[in-house]
Amino acid sequence: MHTGGLSSREGLVTMIHDGFKMGKTEVEPVNDKRLLVIESEFVNVLHQGARDGNTLSSALRDAWDGTSIKPATKTAPVYASDPHINLLGHITPGELVELMRQRELTNGFANRFVMIWAAQPGLDPTPSYTRKERLDELTDRVAKVLRFAQADRYVDRDVTRMELTEAARQRYQKLYRSELQDHSAGERIAGLLTRRAPYLLRLAMLFALTDLTHQIEVHHLDAALAWVRYWAESVKFVFASAYEEQATAKAQEAAEAILDYLGTTASASRTEIMAKCFMGHISKSMMDVAIDELLHQAPPAIEVEKVPRQGGRGSGTKVYRKASAKSAKSAKPVAVQGFEHDSDALRSLRNLRNQVEPDDAEVTDFAQFADFADQSNLPHSQANQQTSQISQTSQGFDSGVRDFGKEVY
């Protein structure tokens, strides 16, 4: 089911409601509470959630938890019990970082989504079509899996019970106590990945069902782990590097301001720069970075000299001045260490994505995915560079999966 235009809790509930009255008319309940929402512009969800009084964010959090969605006010007596909702959203990394407010990053909204970074691998002006025979094969296979899972019994609960084999249980317990609790990338990133454990089990369950078995085996768990690891690397790549770029951009602005200020005076100490250039509104660490950048340009944009203090006491004071005309002639503005399109981190992410989504369309056993969960297949744990177009490019989504635009899903 393709729906769009999510705007509030009430708007979401009306798609899978338990029945309500509209005047004197009784609206029959929707018994099938399964809902797939495809939001090609996830930015709309973030905009709606940012509005005062909007309850969409809390409704989506309730939906993930599997609790009944109840109206926020007595004037909207529409509710949905035991919903099963999936939301597939598309957004560029730049928009995601810019619009995901601090509240969404910390209140559990963001970590309920599996964020997958993807980029278009190439351009094909005349892509080949998928043969009808191949579509029929895929349709029959999906239908077979759905029948096995008894998907037609959507009113009943606990129809199909899934179990971990003993080996898979031991594997999961080991992962739960170690990798799934990893905080090495910092608390901000760890907060976005805090639901790795339940998602690992959900994915493993789906992979087992695809193999037409009620037993979740180790290879199903390892196939799911490969996706969870890719999710983790995507989050680090988008958020950690984006924050670094923002800090670098601020340092560039500060350096340019210092350079402009020193052009109006013979020399100035740090204290004078702090007070007269920034009116005290800059941190010590940011000042250090900006001055260091100016000093280490080739050739240096500014010069530093230690002058004795009045009375000869102390070790002296450092004063800064704009470099001489000869030295400054070839000086360039501070370069922002921006997103490099062909960075190692990007190549690693692409390689890992290609491993998780193999080109072999005939793969039917998820045991073949298990080796992708090996740590050696992971990209760098910290991506220091990204592509400068990453926040501007938003290409289309194609059902062929490999024609993803540069987006986060």
Question: pLDDT per residue over 6-49, tens digit each?
Answer: 656 666 777 888 888 777 888 888 888 888 888 888 988 888 77
Rounded Cα gap, residues 259 and 249, in angstroms: 15
Q: Which tokens in the block code for residue 272?
A: 């004078």
Nearest to 319 by CA among 307, 311, 302, 301: 307
pLDDT-based confidence at residue 139 (cuts at 50, 70, 90): very high
Contact (Cβ atoms closer than 8 angstroms) between residue 251 and residue 289 = yes
User: In the predicted model, is pLDDT for residue 312 greater than 90?
Assistant: no
pLDDT-based confidence at residue 107 (cuts at 50, 70, 90): confident
User: In the predicted model, is pLDDT for residue 111 greater than 70?
Assistant: yes
Task: Specify which residues 163 forms β-bridges with.
Answer: 215
- Distances 203 to 113, 189, 196, 225 between C-alpha atoms, Å: 13, 21, 10, 9
Mean residue pLDDT of the chain comes to 77
Task: Please state, for a pLDDT cut of 70, what percent of the chain lies above it.
Answer: 71
Task: Please state, for a pLDDT cut of 90, what percent of the chain lies above it.
Answer: 31
Rounded Cα gap, residues 126 and 60, in angstroms: 39
Residue 377: per-residue pLDDT: 46
pLDDT-based confidence at residue 67 (cuts at 50, 70, 90): confident
Residue 374: per-residue pLDDT: 54
Residue carrying the six token digits 């969870």: 228
Residue carrying the six token digits 């940011």: 286
Domain limits of the chain? 245-328
Rounded Cα gap, residues 319 and 5, in angstroms: 58
DSSP character string of 37-90? EEES-THHHHHHHHSTT--HHHHHHHHHHT--B--SSTT----BSS-EEEEEE-
Question: pLDDT per residue over 331-380, tens digit each?
Answer: 444 333 333 334 444 555 555 555 554 444 444 455 544 554 555 444 44
Dihedral sign for Cα atoms in the order 41, 47, 48, 49: positive
Where are the strands (E) in 221-374, listed by range? 268-269, 302-307, 317-322
Residue 342: per-residue pLDDT: 42
Q: What is the 3-state secondary structure (H, E, C) of 210-236?
A: HCCCCEECHHHHHHHHHHHHHHHHHHH
Question: pLDDT per residue over 388-404, tens digit each?
Answer: 333 333 333 233 322 32
CATH topology for 245-328?
A: Arc Repressor Mutant, subunit A (1.10.10)
Rounded Cα gap, residues 120 and 90, in angstroms: 14
Residue 113: per-residue pLDDT: 93
User: In the predicted model, is pLDDT for residue 408 greater than 60?
Assistant: no
Rounded Cα gap, residues 325 and 332, in angstroms: 13
